[in-house]
């Protein structure tokens, strides 16, 4: 008889841990304390003090590992959440010279239109 081993679906192996953490959402307006019970480079399994409704996207802070990251909930089981860390948005590249020229032209056109509208408003007010 052949026994199939489960397929590892995680991006990185997890290590057991017992770390304090805080999850938050709504720009930090809402949050609860949690315990990290497994952690890897790509995610973690966290346990909440009681079952709690949380959004699918949140922020997790794990002070002892110096981790503060966006996360996405990939699985829920009672009080436990499996989360995947999400990379922060990288700063965008500076605009090209051509893009800056186009924006400067658009700004000049808007300033000209604004001057025309102010003039018309002054005329309509009888000034």
Do 36 and 97 sit in the same domain of this protein? no
- 14, pLDDT greater than 50: yes
- 88, pLDDT greater than 80: no
- CB 45, CB 36: distance < 8 Å: yes
104 assigned to some structural domain: yes
7 assigned to some structural domain: no
Average pLDDT (4-32) is: 80
- 127, pLDDT greater than 80: no
pLDDT tens across 25-59, in order? 999 999 999 999 999 999 999 999 988 889 999 99
- 2, pLDDT greater than 50: no
8 assigned to some structural domain: no
pLDDT of res. 110: 86
Domain containing residue 34: 15-86
Average pLDDT (76-96) is: 84
Between 25 and 89, residue with greater pLDDT? 25
121 assigned to some structural domain: yes
4 assigned to some structural domain: no
pLDDT of res. 58: 95
Q: Work out the percent of the chain whose per-residue pLDDT is above 90.
A: 61
Do 41 and 68 sit in the same domain of this protein? yes
Count of domains observed in the chain? 2
pLDDT of res. 9: 60
């Amino acid at each position: 008889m052949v026994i199939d081993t489960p397929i590892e679906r995680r991006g990185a192996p997890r290590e057991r841990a017992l770390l304090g953490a805080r999850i938050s959402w709504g720009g930090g307006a809402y949050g609860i304390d949690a315990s990290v019970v497994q952690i890897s480079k790509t995610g973690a399994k966290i346990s909440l003090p009681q079952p709690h409704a949380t959004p699918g996207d949140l922020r997790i802070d794990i002070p002892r590992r110096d981790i503060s990251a966006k996360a996405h909930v990939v699985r829920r089981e009672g009080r436990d959440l499996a989360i995947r860390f999400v990379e922060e948005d990288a700063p965008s590249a500076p605009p090209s010279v051509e893009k800056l020229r186009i924006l400067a032209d658009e700004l000049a056109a808007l300033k000209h239109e604004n001057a025309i509208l102010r003039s018309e408003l002054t005329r309509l007010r009888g000034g």
